[in-house]
Each structure stands twice: as structure tokens, then as C-alpha cells.
């Protein structure tokens, strides 16, 4: 188990680095495919981040000082990410998802990097398969049962508030477990676009209960982050290699789920309506190009981070 003296004391450079990490985590709540946990692995701060969160009440000052720049970055990333995604979704959902799927695909390399020193064993495949099945199963269930909570944004059923709490818990999990995407999860429940579209004065005035929806999600999110951080801290300390094999499966499956969920199926249907039009060909060409660009950008970030570690 890590000790608190392993939490770094910040200088200006490391403070900015942690703020950037927080920025990506904040974006990860909004932007399809960005995993804040994967970014923290790239930045070599994942173990320390989970330790600080899980021990915030036990060693409050030390952990809070470490988390402060990350929290500031999360707020900035969330706000900027929301407005950016809101505009980009109006242009093309498919192109946006392609860009960030490329980023997430490259991010999987950082997880493989954690296993470089581990001798591969056949039995580890079980952990990879288990991780792979979880996101894919959620997506398949939501597609083939046509399960969606989108209509509940305009209803007042009491059970929806409880459901939002538990969805918030799951979203909290995605920010700590590498490879899981909050947006992929919300898409599976049919809640991603409704949440994005709900942030407007018109929506708030027409349905003031939306603020209660937000509150239940936030409470669930906080509970999820703290509870899963304790579990992950324990797993890393005692079963690190098995945990990262499991995460590798989660990450790979989440990339597939980004393209195969109820909201994306709806986007494909809308996309087919443009066949033969200029918009159709633009999206058809841009999607693979932006996938490659997203992949290269994150891969370069990983390589740069690894080179710094080797130099040290």
C-alpha cells in the first residue's frame, strides 16, 4: 500500500501537469471516448490519484493539496468540454466519436505499457475476456431490449431519480477505472444527448426538475468515485497485473461500444438519409482521418511521457 509521502510535493511544473490531468478528466465526463483514468496512467499519476481520493478523509490536508490542481482542471475541462461537444454534436456525432475513438485506441497502449514487465500467461486471458464482456453486454442489452431513459427527462416517475443516482455511481466508476468511457455508458442508457441538450435556459424553465436530475447524478458520481477508488487502490496494491489485464479488456470493448450503442445507431440512421449529398461524403472522409489524428496525438503524448521516464 502506498504511503502519503509518495504523494509528490508540487512545484510550478508539476502543479500545471496535474491541472492538465484534471482538465482531461473533466473533458472525459463529456467527450466521447476520453478516459481520464487512461490519461492519468500516461502522466504516471494513476496510483497516486486513486490513493489520494480513497484516503481524503483519513489524511485530509495531504490528499487535498495533491488533488487541488486536479480538481481545478476538472472544472475547467468539464465546462469547456461541454460547450465544445454541444457545438460539435450539432455538426456530426459520427465524426466527433471517430476522433475520440482514435484517442482512446491509442490510450490503450498506455495500459499495455503497464504490463511490459509481466510475463504473459494464458490464464490472464480470462481477465481480459471478463473486462471485454462488461461494456459490450451493457450495450447489447440496451440495443436489443430497446432500453432508453430519454423519455424520462419529460416525466416525473419517482424511480427515475433513484436510477439517476446509480447511473451517477457508474459514471464515477468510469473516471477511476481506465478504459471505461462515461459518455459510452450514458449513450447506452440513452441519456447522453438529453443531458447535453438539457443545459439551456429554455429547458430549465420548461422543466425545473432537471436540477434534481443533476443533483442525483452528482451525488451518485461522488459516491462512485470514492468507493471505487478504495477498491482500485487495494487491487493495484495486491493484484496489479490481473487488474490491468481486466482493464485492457474494458478499454478494448469500450472502443467498440462507442460505435455500437442506441444513440450511435440513431446517428447512423440519420447519416444514411444524406447519401448522395455533400454532407454524406464529407463525414465519410473526415471520420477515418480524424480517427487517425486522434490516435497519433495520444500516441505521441504517451511516447513523450515514456521517454521522460527513461531519461529519469
User: How many Cβ atoms are within 10 Å of 242's Cβ, its own excluded?
Assistant: 16
CB 21 within 8 A of CB 253: no
Predicted pLDDT of residue 150 = 67
With bands split at pLDDT 50, 70 and 90, how would you rate the model's confidence at 288? Answer: very high
pTM above 0.85, yes or no: no
| Rounded CA separation 11/22 (Å) | 16
| Rounded CA separation 174/298 (Å) | 19
* Residue 49 grid cell: 490519484
| Segment among 6-15, 109-118, 209-218 with least mean pLDDT | 109-118
Predicted pLDDT of residue 72 = 92
CB 26 within 8 A of CB 225: no
For the chain, how many residues are written? 312
* Residue 169 grid cell: 455511481
CB 72 within 8 A of CB 21: no
Mean pLDDT of the chain: 80
The DSSP code sequence of 289-305 is HHHHHHHHHHHHHHHHH
| Rounded CA separation 87/66 (Å) | 33
Q: What is the mean pLDDT of residues 38-45?
A: 73
- Alpha carbon 123 to its chain's center: 28
Task: Give tens-digit pLDDT for 237-255.
Answer: 888 888 888 888 888 888 8
Task: Look at residue 2 and tell me whether its pLDDT is greater than 60.
Answer: no
User: How many Cβ atoms are within 10 Å of 112's Cβ, its own excluded?
Assistant: 11
What is the three-class DSSP state of 145? coil
| Segment among 53-67, 98-112, 140-154, 259-273 with least mean pLDDT | 140-154
Amino acid at each position: 500500500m502506498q504511503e502519503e509521502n509518495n504523494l509528490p510535493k508540487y512545484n510550478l511544473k508539476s502543479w500545471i501537469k496535474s491541472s492538465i490531468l484534471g482538465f482531461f478528466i473533466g473533458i472525459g465526463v463529456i467527450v466521447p471516448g476520453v478516459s481520464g483514468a487512461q490519461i492519468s496512467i500516461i502522466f504516471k499519476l494513476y496510483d497516486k490519484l486513486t490513493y489520494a481520493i480513497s484516503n481524503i478523509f483519513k489524511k485530509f490536508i495531504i490528499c487535498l493539496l495533491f488533488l487541488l490542481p486536479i480538481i481545478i482542471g476538472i472544472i475547467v475541462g468539464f465546462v469547456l468540454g461541454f460547450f465544445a461537444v454541444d457545438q460539435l454534436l450539432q455538426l456530426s456525432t459520427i465524426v466527433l466519436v471517430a476522433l475520440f475513438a482514435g484517442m482512446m485506441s491509442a490510450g490503450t497502449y498506455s495500459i499495455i505499457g503497464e504490463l511490459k514487465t509481466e510475463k504473459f500467461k494464458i490464464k490472464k486471458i480470462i481477465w481480459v475476456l471478463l473486462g471485454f464482456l462488461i461494456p459490450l453486454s451493457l450495450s447489447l442489452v440496451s440495443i436489443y431490449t430497446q432500453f432508453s431513459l430519454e423519455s424520462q427527462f419529460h416525466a416525473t416517475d419517482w424511480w427515475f431519480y433513484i436510477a439517476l443516482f446509480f447511473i451517477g455511481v457508474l459514471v464515477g466508476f468510469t473516471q477511476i477505472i481506465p478504459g471505461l468511457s462515461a459518455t459510452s455508458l450514458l449513450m447506452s442508457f440513452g441519456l447522453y444527448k438529453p443531458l447535453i441538450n438539457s443545459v439551456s435556459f429554455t429547458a430549465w424553465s420548461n422543466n425545473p426538475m432537471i436540477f434534481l436530475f443533476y443533483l442525483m447524478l452528482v451525488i451518485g458520481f461522488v459516491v462512485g468515485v470514492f468507493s471505487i477508488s478504495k477498491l482500485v487502490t487495494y487491487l493495484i496494491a495486491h493484484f496489479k497485473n490481473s487488474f490491468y489485464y481486466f482493464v485492457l479488456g474494458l478499454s478494448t470493448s469500450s472502443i467498440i461500444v462507442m460505435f455500437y450503442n442506441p444513440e450511435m445507431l440513431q446517428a447512423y440512421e440519420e447519416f444514411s438519409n444524406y447519401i448522395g449529398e455533400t454532407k454524406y461524403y464529407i463525414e465519410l472522409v473526415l471520420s477515418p482521418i480524424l480517427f487517425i489524428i486522434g490516435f497519433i496525438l495520444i500516441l505521441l503524448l504517451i511516447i513523450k511521457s515514456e521517454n521522460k521516464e527513461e531519461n529519469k
